Amino acid sequence: MLMLKNVMCWLCLPLLISLNLSAAEQGAGITGVVSLSPEMALKVSPKDIVYVYAVDSKTRRITLATLRTTVRKLPLHFTLNDTLAASPERRLSGVRRVDLLARVSRNPAAAQAGPDLMGEVAGIANDSSGVELLIDTLMQCVQPGG
């Protein structure tokens, strides 16, 4: 509560309660830094899209939370939580272990469409903090039937 000359500001109480509820409603969260290796930095443009996302470690098919930014903003301190959920039914707080991935793409669509740069931290808790996610691998897109 805010104090004004030793007097509580009761008008601020609803705001403080709503801030606390908002934080609680976010559920689990992962915090960390995503960065680009020096070798991979030579292969990108500042305008390239960066996706940071968490997937269920068991299935690797269900995206739980996604953040989109650009190479220009790297290194980036990030927080992934339920407010960035792909859908209300698939939330980060709904699983215990996740794989955290980062992908750099020239394609603005979320689907992998060409040789993308990747980084991964596997099997972390859904409330991990201080995660260092390094984009350091070139992934070739495998075409169907090829």
Half-sphere exposure (CA, 13 Å, Cβ side) for 19? 6
Please, are residues 71 and 48 in contact by the beta-carbon 8 Å criterion? yes
The more confidently predicted of residues 120 and 17 is 120
C-alpha distances in angstroms, 62 versus 17, 67, 86, 142?
33, 15, 9, 20
Per domain, the residue ranges of the chain are: 28-139
pLDDT in tens, 32-74: 999 999 999 999 999 999 999 999 999 888 899 999 999 999 9
pLDDT tens track for 68-111: 999 999 999 999 999 999 888 889 999 999 999 999 988 766 56
Rounded CA separation 88/68 (Å): 18
- What values do phi and psi take at 140, rounded to 5? -85, 140
